[in-house]
Amino acid sequence: DIQMTQSPSSLSASVGDRVTITCQASQDVNTYLGWFQQKPGKPPRLLIYGASNLEMGVPSRFSGSGSGTDFTFTIASLQPEDFATYYCQQYDNLPLTFGGGTRVDLK
Amino acid sequence: QIQLVQSGAEVKKPGASVTVSCKTSGYTFTAYGVSWLRQAPGQGLEWMGWISPYSGNTNYAQKVQDRLNLNIDISTSTAFMELRSLRSDDTAVYYCSRDGGIAVSPTDYWGQGTLVTVSS
């Protein structure tokens, strides 16, 4: 199975801050990497697919980069509605695997 | 619009079975796979298995492969997940999701989740 190591596990930030989350795969996943946002009591919402492609309707302050084993997710200017938990997911191979999550809360 | 609507919460005793349904709409059911995932309280996301409505092919996670059964009803565009021999550590929110396939797209649309509680 491909292991996804996500960091940090949590961070505190203020509205307007730039936030960066990293995800490292245990083997090459090409660009088959997605980023999800999850709020309490809700299912995950896909934000980024193909490592860097913005899902339709997702604000442009969200972005992703990377390929192979190292990936980065960035929120350019944190908004109040962005406080949530974020996960990376590889879909290069089954089983689909996720990073452990990054909880973003208010400083 | 694309929707996946799951059946309601369940409470089961250890050793019992549970079936969760996932009714899809807004897209061609046979054009995408359906993945099932779960999330234990306060924990991360765990993929359990995948089914192709087109072929009926399945792929199960090793951890649950002996207890999991995935099925579909093409006539109603509905997917089903049956988990047998339930244990307390199966307590989780279970999700179905539309799955474009390996090396194609991630799980892009998700059901609302079904809480399954296993307790004596």
Angle, vertex CA B33, rays to CA A63 and CA A96, nearest 5: 55
Q: Bin B77: left if φ > 0, else alpha if -120 < ψ < 50, else beta.
A: left
How do residues A46-105 score in pLDDT, each as one tens digit? 999 999 999 999 999 999 999 999 999 999 999 999 999 999 999 999 999 999 999 999
Decide if A89 touches B, using CB distance below 8 A. yes
Instruction: List CB contacts (< 8 A) between A91 and chain B.
Output: 102-107
- In the DSSP assignment, the letter for residue A96 is P
Nearest-neighbour CA in chain B from A49: distance (Å): 7
Cis peptide before A44 (omega within 30 of 0): no
Q: Strand locations in B1-120, DSSP E? A: 3-6, 10-12, 18-25, 33-39, 46-51, 58-60, 68-73, 78-83, 92-101, 105-110, 114-118
Which amino acid, residue A47? L
Which residue among B50, B105, B113 places its CB closest to the CB of A43? B113
pLDDT value at residue B22: 98
C-alpha dihedral, B40 to B41 to B43 to B44, nearest 10°: 50
Cβ of B102 within 8 Å of Cβ of A44? The answer is no
Cβ of A91 within 8 Å of Cβ of B107? The answer is yes
Q: Which phi and psi (to 5°) does residue A82 adopt?
A: -90, -5
Tokens encoding A89: 């997911």
Instruction: List CB contacts (< 8 A) between B113 and chain A.
Output: 42-43
Tell me which chain B residue has its CA closest to the CA of residue A98.
B45
Instruction: List CB contacts (< 8 A) between A49 and chain B.
Output: 105-106, 108
Which amino acid, residue B112? Q
Element of type H or E holding A73? strand A70-75
Let me know how long chain A is.
107
**Higher pLDDT, residue A86 or A106:** A86
Decide if A46 touches B, using CB distance below 8 A. yes
Give B32's strand partners: none
C-alpha–C-alpha distance, residues B64 and B44, integer Å: 17
Preferred mutation among B3, B105, B115 to probe A, highest tally of A CBs within 10 A: B105
pLDDT value at residue B68: 98
Averaged over successive runs of 10 residues, the pLDDT of chain B (120 residues) comes to 98 98 98 98 97 96 97 98 98 97 92 98
C-alpha–C-alpha distance, residues B21 and A96, integer Å: 21
Q: Is-contact B79 B21, C-beta < 8 A? A: yes
